């Protein structure tokens, strides 16, 4: 995930520095120097990257679950995601056929997949 870019860079940097150090001690000087320098660069980039670099608002607005088929657990599987921010958008992932349907507004009371005509759910309380 994008959120861990900084941690990953710092970690890779430290691994490279350590690895470079070992190679230098082991006599493979040129390799050790190259890897060591890359490690220092990664580390510096990692430290320079703002740690609260999360998903940009536009990316969050554009986010929707990937189209994938959910495992069939003896009942119809589906996933409903509703955005927290206005304007509200609901994405419904149909388990049987893996189609993601995007709707404006809140979670509907009932939903039938337009792609495979499977009734995914119906809220019982009225
Ligand atoms: Zn479907």
Tens of pLDDT along 29-72?
A: 677 777 777 778 777 777 776 655 555 666 656 666 666 666 66
Tens of pLDDT along 101-121?
A: 999 998 999 999 999 999 998
Please, which residues bridge with residue 112 across strands?
119
Whole-number Å distance, alpha carbon 86 to ligand 1 midpoint, is: 27
pTM of the predicted model over 0.95: no
The domain limits of the chain are: 2-48, 62-122
Counted residue by residue, the chain has a size of 126
Whole-number Å distance, alpha carbon 74 to ligand 1 midpoint, is: 16
**Share of residues in the chain with pLDDT > 70 (%):** 63
- Check: CB of residue 55 under 8 Å from CB of residue 2: yes
Per-residue b or e along 87-122, where b marks 16 or more CB atoms closer than 10 Å to that residue's CB: eebbbbbbbbeebbbeeeeeeeeebbbeeeebebee
């Amino acid at each position: 995930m994008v959120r861990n870019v900084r941690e990953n860079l710092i970690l890779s940097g430290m691994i490279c520095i350590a690895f470079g150090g070992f190679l230098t001690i082991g006599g493979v000087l040129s390799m050790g120097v190259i890897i060591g320098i890359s490690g220092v660069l990664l580390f510096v980039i990692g430290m320079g990257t703002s740690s609260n670099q999360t998903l940009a608002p536009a990316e969050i607005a554009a986010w929707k679950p990937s189209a994938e088929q959910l495992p069939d657990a003896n009942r119809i599987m589906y996933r409903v995601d509703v955005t927290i921010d206005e304007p509200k958008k609901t994405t419904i992932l149909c388990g049987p056929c893996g189609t993601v349907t995007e709707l404006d507004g809140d979670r509907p009371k009932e939903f039938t997949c337009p792609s495979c005509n499977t009734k995914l759910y119906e809220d019982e309380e009225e």
